[in-house]
Amino acid sequence: MTNFCENCGATLTPNAKFCISCGHATSQELVIQQSGPPIPSPNQKKPLYKRWWFWLIAFAVVGLIANIIVNVIIPLENSVGG
C-alpha cells in the first residue's frame, strides 16, 4: 500500500513523519491508505471495445452485410433456381 499526504496528496515514503513536499506532519490519522486499483488519468486511452463509436460502426457494418444478403444474394438465388 502507498501512503499519501492528507494536506497536499504527495506520495509519502514508508514511516515518514513529515511530507517532503509540503512539510505537513503525518500520523496514523493523517495518512490516507490507497486501497483498490489506481484511479486512471484522464489522458489514459480506453480499449477500443469500450468506445461508443466502435460499436456504432460495428453494428452498421453488420446491418449492411445483412441487407446485402437479404436484398441481393437471396433474390439472385431464387431467380437462378426457378
Q: Give the domain extent around 32.
A: 1-36
CB 33 within 8 A of CB 3: yes
pTM for this prediction:
0.39
Judged against a pLDDT cut of 70, whether residue 30 lies above it is answered with no
For the ranges 9-13, 24-28, 78-82, the one whose mean pLDDT is highest: 9-13
Residue-wise pLDDT for 33-78, tens only, equals 556 676 666 677 777 778 888 899 999 999 999 999 899 888 887 8
In 3D space, the residue among 39, 35, 1, 38 whose CA is nearest the CA of residue 13 turns out to be 1
How far is the C-alpha of 2 from the C-alpha of 20, rounded, in Å?
15
| Residue 56 sits in the same domain as residue 77 | yes
CB 27 within 8 A of CB 13: no
| Residue 5 sits in the same domain as residue 30 | yes
| Residue 4 sits in the same domain as residue 27 | yes
Is 10 within a domain? yes
How far is the C-alpha of 17 from the C-alpha of 74, rounded, in Å?
77
